[in-house]
Amino acid sequence: MPEVALTGVTKRFDKTLAVSDLSLTIADGEFVVLLGPTGAGKTTTLRLVAGLERPEEGRIEIDGRDVTKTTPAERDVCFVFQQYSLYPHYTVFDNLAFPLRAPGRKRPAAEIQARVEEIARLLRIESKLKNRATQLSGGEMQRVAIGRALVRRPSIYLMDEPLSSLDAKLREDLRIELKRIQRDLGATILYVTHDQLEAMTLADRIGVLAEGRLVQVGAPREVYERPNDIDVARRLGSPQINLVPSGTLGVEERPAAATTVGVRPEDVLLHREDGVAAEVLAVEHLGVETLVLLSVEDLTLRALLGGHAPVAIGEATRIAVRPGAALFFDERGRRITGPETGSPKTGSPKTGSPKTGSKSEAAYGT
């Protein structure tokens, strides 16, 4: 049974269409990440599920119950806010205990104590329980904020960019911890972010939002390999996908309607005997990988190579696109699917079964 189902949900603020005809189901124990730029309607979607906003149209169900018109308290959800997540006038313990002391679901003091300590251990903040909420580092605050949600066992956890205010190292640590905790607890999570790396690593399924509309939903690799349109292709992957006019780079087998060709940086191959002439403009050593900026036929191209790739600035080389790896988009930016693009990828480590469509419910591990 789906834990949460949104059907045709629409929300307007005056003239702004914040969420438009959004339908999404989240299965029990699933980790769904909504990915989109600022203003895409991510926060609004979470607030609609939580009941902090009322939709103009559509239905929201939690555990098979229509909750469209009920108050937040009646919905059995938890919300981790983007900021301002802790009460500054309480200690860490009281912050964590706060949800358990709510009138409707008040627990005995001993149980609260035990539960808070359990969660504090899980998040490795036991030693901070007596601190004031304001006497914590950013990472600790965010742990407590997540802990405040985890002390309860709601139908669904809603998390609004909980890691966005942290520095890169902490973000990575907490990301891994969050995934571990979610697996251990079997929690159902709807998570919002604008960071594609977070989306790719955390999600069982990614939903790509743009201007209030859900453009594509699918497993991370599925969305990465078979984006519905140029926008989704650009949204996922770092460094970004190369988008070039059709007919360049020596990509031969292309559908007639294609106007733009998308090539992931890792699918650009250097030092090919029979390739297109190119010049190396810049080389960035990223450690495990090397990012190379190339000039080809008046185009600038990003290529991602191994850590010790032998390239030098100014070097002339010949490049090719990994066979079958190119993505084709029509003039409206939609990806062209169907038999023309069906030639299987060869030699690509990322080959998946070339299933078309985006309805797959398969949950890939990461």
If residue 97 lies in a helix (H) or strand (E), which one and from where to where?
A: helix 92-97
User: Which of the 8 DSSP states describes residue 322?
Assistant: P
**Is 193 a residue that touches Mg ion (CB under 5 A)?**
no
Residues 28, 2: contact at Cβ < 8 Å? yes
Give buried/exposed letters for 194-225 (b at 16+ CB in 10 A, else e).
bbbebbbbbbbbbbbbbbbebbbbbbbbbbbb
Site for other proteins in 150-209 (CB under 8 A): 152
User: Which of the 8 DSSP states describes residue 351?
Assistant: -
**Is 51 a residue that touches other proteins (CB under 8 A)?**
yes
Residue number with CB closer to ligand ADP (112 or 203) = 203
**Is 72 a residue that touches other proteins (CB under 8 A)?**
yes
Q: How far apart are CA 143 and CA 211, in angstroms?
A: 31
List the one residue from 4, 5, 6, 18 that touches ligand ADP (CB under 6 A): 18
Residue number with CB closer to ligand ADP (20 or 201) = 20
If residue 189 lies in a helix (H) or strand (E), which one and from where to where?
A: strand 189-193
Residue number with CB closer to ligand ADP (19 or 292) = 19
Closest CA to 221 of 345, 341, 322, 308: 345
Q: Write the binding mask 35 to 64 for ligand ADP: x where contact by CB under 6 A, - elsewhere.
A: -x-xxxxxxx--------------------
List the one residue from 89, 130, 183, 285 that touches other proteins (CB under 8 A): 89
Closest CA to 194 of 44, 80, 34, 46: 34
**Is 43 a residue that touches Mg ion (CB under 5 A)?**
yes
**Is 67 a residue that touches other proteins (CB under 8 A)?**
no
Residues 319, 276: contact at Cβ < 8 Å? yes
List the one residue from 18, 22, 50, 280 that touches other proteins (CB under 8 A): 50
List the one residue from 1, 14, 15, 103 that touches other proteins (CB under 8 A): 103
Enumerate binding residues for ligand ADP (CB under 6 A).
13, 16, 18, 36, 38-44
Enumerate binding residues for other proteins (CB under 8 A).
50-52, 71-73, 75, 77-79, 81, 83-85, 87-89, 98-99, 102-105, 148, 152
